[in-house]
Chains A and B, each alone.
Chain A
Amino acid sequence: MEIKYTIQGLLIYISIAAYLLALLVSLLRRPRAAHTLYVLGFVVALVSFGYRWHHVRHVPMQNLFEVFLCLGMIYPVSVFCRRVLHIGGRSADMLIGAVVLVPAGFFFNADPQMLPPALQSWLFAPHVAVYMISYVFMTKAASHALWQLVGRDPKSDQNLLPPEEATYRLICIGFPLLTLGLVLGSVWGKLAWGDYWGWDPKELWSLASWLVYVGYLHYRYMSAKRHPSVNSLWAIAGVVVIVVTLLWVNLSRLFAGLHTYAAG
């Protein structure tokens, strides 16, 4: 763990603080103030991402530090979910925003690196970006799955979907993106390394996480929603495998594979 005494670090810490404060204020039932703080946290996270981009002069999604920096800009997802999908859970989003910024702020190395030749591809940014967006939706889906398990429903006056339905809708958004991310990664692998599938641990974990959602979709269809708790467990398992895909393979260095350049 290291504290970053840089402008970049400062921006990350302000953002985390704003998200956590927003969460606290929201739990104290001050929705307006919570919203203002949430927006503030987002704006700072945005500035922090833009600052990084300017600093390294390429789309900052090359290593875990940059990926987590990107994940910290979660506010538009909250707005989209509430306005378009009628899905709540803003407090959980504040927590997700803060939690994903913690590794960027305290654990990952932020030294800028010049892009190695394999990463200089037009597929690089879309591949990572699409994955990131889908991960955010899947995480949010898992948070609703948790609410389903503990039996928490939104208040009837809020015009929001019940948690099981919300989980499904969020996965409906995330699954095509997850599929596209996998496919783009495969096409890029073909261009850069000569094979669209290299049996690399990172590839296999991303296939595994995709399969959890394929399993979820079929199970939910088959069981006709008779076992909502099992559906929720699938959705939570999906995020657990995503976290393994994202972190464990890189950090544990247990496996030697193609994707080791992404280690923070």
Chain B
Amino acid sequence: MWAAMALIVLLFFLSVYGAFVGPQRAKDFFNGTALGVYWVAFGLLLAVGIVLFRRLLRVPALLLVHAGCILILAGAIWGSDAGRSLQKTLLGIDIVPTGQMQIYEGYSDNRVILEDNEIRELPFYIKLKDFRLEYYQPGHIYIQTRQGDAAWEFPVQIGARFQLGPQFGTVEIVKVFENFKIAIDGDSSAAVDEPGTGTNAALEVRIQSPDGRISTRYLFERSRGHIYPDAPLYMSYERVIRDYVSELQVVRNGRVVARKDVEVNHPLHFGGYHFYQHSYDAQAAEYTVLMVGPDTGLASVYGGFLMLCIGAFWHFWLRKLPKPAQTGPAEQTQETSKWKSNIQSRAY
């Protein structure tokens, strides 16, 4: 059991070290050969512990906790890079490691670009039906004086008129554009909204200065405030993204076999892989970037998580904490001494 303590304390220091070096270096460190040996040793020690200390077998809650840890370790090792190359050598199973897919709307693809830019192919295709951004409603218009001594923020609503005080007059929101375009017809041009063909969100505002002059301004979400460098007021149109949604279809042998709207926190799971919303075309929202990762070893890790949690609650909440009616120092002492004798009858 001293060995167990040593490994636990060592892992504590290794974690602290990992926290100092940052995620990328920590990942390389914990996946390196030295740590590989450590993980296997930990797993083996847990297994040996279960065999040697009969109480770990006899008390189901403790068995759940310790066996849960073994499952987590085993699943994590099986799903790691080293585990996958082992599977390839031993079992001939070739799993595509974690990478990214970039898919344009209306197209399908099966190519995964790995971290080192190698391209691998999945045994099925993913088709992007549509990609869209969803925003918190309403958006906001921010107004500030050039000197920065006064600022306002208003929710966007067509027809809403805001008073900025006697010095600056009023601002009225005239139109909201999903995709602002200029339509040219002969000599004249006009601002039009063409939603669905791209994203260029904008606002048309009418400003009435205190002397009664009226001017029109366009505020673009993507180029904040650069358009009117000389105007006394700086204005911008801002929206907060609520979600990114990729409407996906899985195509195998020319047939759609699954479909799902993938959002952040709602990945698609198919054929041993998870597909996550990862990034998107910030200019025109025409393509999506998915992160693809194999689910190798995941069932074992999740099974271990479940066992660890059930075991911990069972052991500590149900076994260790006496029922409320019995809880008192008198019973406590009895329980403790019973417990102590258990402990002392153990040879370490």
Please give the residue numbers on chain A whose beta carbons come within 8 Å of chain B beta carbons, in ascending order: 83-86, 114-118, 120-121, 159-162, 165, 169, 172-173, 175-176, 179-180, 183, 186-188, 190-202, 204-205, 207-208, 211-212, 214-215, 218-219, 221-222, 224-225, 249, 254-258
Contact = CB atoms under 8 A, between A and B. Distances in A.
Given A118-B265, A190-B298, A254-B20, 19 more contacts: A84-B324, A86-B327, A117-B264, A118-B264, A121-B265, A173-B317, A176-B312, A179-B308, A183-B305, A188-B265, A196-B301, A197-B76, A199-B24, A199-B26, A205-B15, A205-B19, A221-B343, A249-B19, A256-B23
B175 interface: no
Given A194-B293, A200-B23, A255-B20, A160 B263 contact: no
Which 5 A-B residue pairings sit nearest by Cβ, starting from the closest?
A: A117-B264, A176-B312, A199-B26, A201-B19, A204-B19
B41 interface: no
B293 A114 contact: no
A165 B164 CA distance: 65
A interface, by DSSP: helix, strand, loop or mixed? helix
A199 B316 contact: no
A180 B12 contact: no
Interface string B97-110: 01000000000000
26 contacts: A86-B332, A117-B242, A117-B263, A117-B264, A117-B265, A118-B265, A159-B328, A169-B321, A172-B320, A173-B321, A176-B309, A176-B315, A179-B309, A187-B305, A190-B298, A194-B276, A194-B278, A194-B291, A196-B301, A199-B24, A199-B26, A205-B15, A208-B15, A215-B8, A221-B343, A224-B340
Which of A208, A225, A257 has most chain B Cβ within 10 Å?
A208
Contact of B136 (A114, A169, A200, A212): A114
Interface string B334-348: 001000100110001
A120 B9 CA distance: 35
Contacts of A258: 23
B312 A179 contact: yes
B4 A218 contact: yes
A81 to B, nearest CB: 11
A201 B242 contact: no
B229 interface: no
A176 B305 contact: no
A13 B224 CA distance: 39
A194 B20 CA distance: 23
A118 B242 CA distance: 9
Given A169-B321, A191-B265, A192-B265, A215 B9 contact: yes
Contacts of B329: 86, 159-162
A172 B12 CA distance: 20
A165 B328 CA distance: 12
Q: How large is the interface on B (under 10, 10 to 19, 20 to 34, 35 or more residues)?
A: 35 or more
Nearest to A214: B8
Contacts of A193: 276
B136 A255 contact: no
Contacts of A208: 12, 15-16, 19
Contacts of A204: 15-16, 18-19, 26
Contacts of B265: 117-118, 120-121, 188, 191-192
A215 to B, nearest CB: 5
A187 B302 contact: yes
Nearest to B75: A196
B60 to A, nearest CB: 15
B244 to A, nearest CB: 6
A85 B22 contact: no
Contacts of B291: 194
Contacts of A249: 19
B5 interface: yes
B343 A224 contact: yes
Nearest to A115: B242
A214 B240 CA distance: 42
Which of A172, A175, A197, A204 has most chain B Cβ within 10 Å?
A204
B88 to A, nearest CB: 21
A219 B12 CA distance: 15
Interface string B72-86: 000010000000000
Interface in B1-52: 1-2, 4-5, 8-9, 11-12, 15-16, 18-20, 22-24, 26-27, 30
Contacts of B336: 165
Which of B274, B315, B327 has most chain A Cβ within 10 Å?
B327
Contacts of B298: 190, 196
A200 B24 CA distance: 8
Nearest to B21: A255
Nearest to A118: B264
B242 A114 contact: yes
Contact of A183 (B98, B267, B309): B309
A199 B18 contact: yes
Nearest to A122: B265
A221 B343 CA distance: 7
Nearest to B265: A121
Contacts of B263: 117
Interface in B136-161: 136
Contacts of A176: 309, 312-313, 315-317
Nearest to A198: B23
Contacts of B320: 169, 172
Nearest to B274: A194
Contacts of B30: 199
